Amino acid sequence: MQELIEKAAVLHEALPYIRRFHGEVFVIKYGGHAMVDDGLRESFARDVVLMKYVGIHPVVVHGGGPQIDETLRSLGASSERVEGLRVTDDETMKVVEMVLGGRVNQEIVSLIGSAGGRAVGLTGRDDAFVRARRVTSMTTRSGRQVDPGRVGRVEHINPDVIERLVASGFIPVIAPVAVDAAGASLNVNADTVAGKVAEALRARKLVLMTDIAGVNDVAGVVQSSLHAREIQSMIDDGVIAGGMIPKVLCALSAVTSGVNKSHIIDGRVKHAMLFEIFTDKGIGTEIVGAP
């Protein structure tokens, strides 16, 4: 009986959040361990479907770096990374499109369908809704100049196709492949695509699923909430460093461009999204605009 009472208490705690977020768009960057662990994959799909059924409109943008690496290895190939971006020649771009736009995207669509949802998979090439400009040169940490190949930086998101899918009751599942002005495919960062999609949709929340518990302070303690001024200070002081910087800046850009809040959460924790969205305490780090 006590277990049933506790479950009822959880539902009561979630009720004001369900009411507050009804009809709102949440953009979720899905990646990391949550994409490769079978239990977490199924849990993620059920959580997304639950959000849809309580009136929230989830839009999923996914990564797939490990799956691309695996496919390249099976083909006897490899690719270098520069500042977190994969150097992408023409042959690698074919693999990126095959893996992200094909295998990974359709697996997520299938998982959501098996959980009772209606999902549609697409890439930024569809209706050319993700436009990017090719990055012609990048500098490594050692100062070496590198041509990253078919790598792009997002310039424009046309949200029409996403809005139509959402309005029709579907959960869009987006692979981070963009198109340039000439119609060529470009490999783009999934976090950035998620942030720009959230901005274009005027989403209520941007949720970045990662393999860390959140943003730590200088003592290593996860901060439940940070605002813009604190983040810039933490970057300047070296508290936020390495691969965490682009994620935090992506989250910060979203909230300064119209998204209400961004969240960096630990995708290794089952139901992490639900904990962050529907409970008072939450999990991970929320990022808000200047106080």
CATH at residue 58: 3.40.1160.10
Residue 11 lies in a domain: no
Global model pTM greater than 0.85: yes
Confirm whether 289 is domain-assigned.
Answer: no
- Residue 2 resides in a domain: no
Rounded-to-integer distance, Cα 126 and Cα 101, Å: 11
In a domain, 27, yes or no: yes
Q: What is the C-alpha to C-alpha distance for residues 265 and 275, in angstroms, rounded to an integer?
A: 10
Q: Mind listing the pLDDT tens digit of every residue in the chain (291 residues)? A: 666 666 667 777 888 989 999 999 999 999 888 888 889 999 999 999 999 999 999 999 999 888 888 888 888 877 777 666 778 888 889 999 999 999 999 999 999 999 999 999 999 999 999 999 998 887 666 677 777 889 999 999 999 999 999 999 999 999 999 999 999 999 999 999 999 999 999 999 999 998 888 888 888 889 888 988 888 888 888 888 777 888 888 999 999 999 999 999 999 999 999 988 888 777 889 998 765
In a domain, 200, yes or no: yes
> What is the rounded distance in angstroms from the CA atom of residue 24 to the CA atom of residue 279?
17
Residue 279: in which H helix or E strand, if any?
Answer: none
* In-domain check, residue 139: yes
1 falls within a domain? no
Ramachandran bin of 206, using left for φ above 0, alpha for ψ from -120 to 50, beta for the remaining angles: beta
Within a domain: 220: yes
- Domain span at 218: 19-279
Domain count, the chain: 1
